[in-house]
């Protein structure tokens, strides 16, 4: 007997501010499906404005899952996300409700579709040796280049954390991390997935980010941040160190004027969007680059789900 077909999943992603949340809700509603969160900040309760969670009008269109399920001080990572999102997506598919994963946290989307690659464990002796090599003037990126050219080509020389991890893997496993990740991905694909990456003119995205920043402050970002601090949450928590909240915390503490806080949020969001676009090009090359056009995405999604 032929093996049953794998569940299908549609993903909508792209840089922050590109309109993916609204688009995913419209597409999921018209497919008779549901949205699954894939944005690391939107998992937390009480972080609504800064996380740009779906509006009440958007959540009324179709079911939305995994939004606001954690307190701000609860730990969460990509592996925990996979444990929640994978069975949820499979169940939705079995129930005839196509899952539409949506969010800008590329690692979470990749984990949902391709699983978690852990690789060899941490080797403190090797890490100490790397520190000694650096102190002696050895360029670790150059060493990685000689051992694992493919991985070195996609890592910046100044990205010490990832360069050290790549060296640790190749020296421990005898094989480069890029090759190991690729082999792992081929063996761990529980879904047939079609990913849409929203793409738009950088000038238009900048305009939207400026408006988004103004809207966040106008609709209560400072009040939301103050409420979290008043509940006893530390400003050093990871969610409160994210863009929007950290600048709000600084303003509330007297470290930034309101105008300075707004400008910092805009500039930092702009930098984040640039990093996201780079990540999607390198880590999600199979994604369909599309404008934020629900009709186009809906048409291609329907063809994919029917095929």
Q: Which domains does the chain have, with CATH numbers?
A: 8-115+188-306 (3.40.50.300), 124-183 (1.10.20.140)
Q: Which of 151-160, 180-189, 236-245, 282-291 has the lowest mean pLDDT?
A: 180-189
Q: pLDDT band at residue 1, thresholds of 50, 70 and 90?
A: very low
Instruction: Please report the pLDDT score of residue 2 as a whole number.
Output: 41
Cα separation values, 68 from 43, 98, 116, 159, 233, Å: 5, 21, 23, 32, 16
Own/partner pairs, 268-273, CB within 8 angstroms, 24+ separation: 268/243, 269/16, 269/17, 269/209, 269/212, 269/213, 269/243, 269/244, 270/206, 270/209, 272/15, 272/16, 272/243, 273/15, 273/16, 273/17, 273/18, 273/205, 273/209
Higher pLDDT, 192 or 155: 192
**pLDDT above 90 for 52:** yes
**pLDDT above 90 for 44:** yes
**pLDDT above 90 for 148:** no
The half-sphere exposure of 304 on its side-chain side, counting CA atoms within 13 A, is 23
CA distance linking residue 149 with residue 178, whole number of Å: 10
Q: pLDDT band at residue 186, thresholds of 50, 70 and 90?
A: very low
CA distance linking residue 199 with residue 296, whole number of Å: 13
Cα separation values, 100 from 9, 38, 135, 264, Å: 6, 10, 48, 32
Cα separation values, 302 from 86, 93, 197, 306, 307, Å: 21, 14, 17, 6, 9
Closest C-alpha among 50, 17, 45, 23 to residue 35: 23
Could you read off the pLDDT of 234-275 as tens digits, one per residue? Answer: 999 999 999 999 999 999 999 999 999 999 999 999 999 999
Backbone torsions φ then ψ of 288, nearest 5 degrees: -80, 120
The pTM (predicted TM-score) of the whole model is 0.80
Chain position carrying tokens 């081929």: 186
CA distance linking residue 3 with residue 119, whole number of Å: 29
């Amino acid at each position: 007997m032929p093996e049953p077909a794998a569940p299908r999943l549609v993903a909508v992603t792209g840089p922050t501010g590109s309109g993916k949340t609204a688009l995913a809700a419209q597409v999921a509603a018209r497919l008779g499906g549901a949205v699954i969160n894939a944005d690391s900040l939107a998992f937390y309760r009480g972080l609504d404005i800064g996380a740009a969670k779906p509006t009440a009008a958007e959540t009324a269109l179709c079911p939305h899952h995994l939004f606001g399920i954690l307190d701000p001080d609860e730990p969460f990572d990509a592996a925990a996300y996979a444990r929640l999102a994978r069975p949820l997506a499979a169940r939705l598919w079995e129930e005839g409700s196509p899952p539409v994963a949506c969010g800008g946290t590329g690692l979470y989307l990749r984990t949902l579709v391709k699983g978690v690659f852990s690789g060899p464990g941490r080797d403190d002796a090797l890490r100490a040796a790397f520190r000694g090599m650096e102190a002696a003037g050895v360029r670790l990126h150059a060493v990685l280049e000689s051992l694992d050219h493919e991985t070195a080509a996609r890592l910046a020389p100044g990205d010490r954390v990832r360069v050290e991890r790549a060296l640790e893997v190749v020296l421990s496993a005898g094989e480069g991390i890029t090759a190991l990740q690729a082999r792992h991905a081929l063996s761990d694909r529980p879904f047939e997935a079609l990913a849409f990456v929203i793409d738009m003119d950088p000038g238009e995205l900048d305009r939207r980010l400026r408006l988004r920043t103004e809207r966040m402050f106008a609709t209560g970002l400072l009040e939301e941040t103050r409420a979290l601090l008043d509940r006893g949450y530390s400003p050093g928590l990871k969610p409160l160190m994210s863009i929007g909240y950290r600048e709000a915390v600084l303003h509330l503490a007297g470290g930034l004027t309101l105008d300075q806080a707004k400008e910092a949020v805009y500039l930092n969001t702009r930098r984040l969007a640039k990093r996201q676009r780079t990540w999607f090009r390198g880590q999600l090359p199979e994604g369909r680059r599309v404008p934020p056009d629900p009709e186009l995405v809906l048409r291609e999604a329907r063809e994919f789900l029917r095929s």
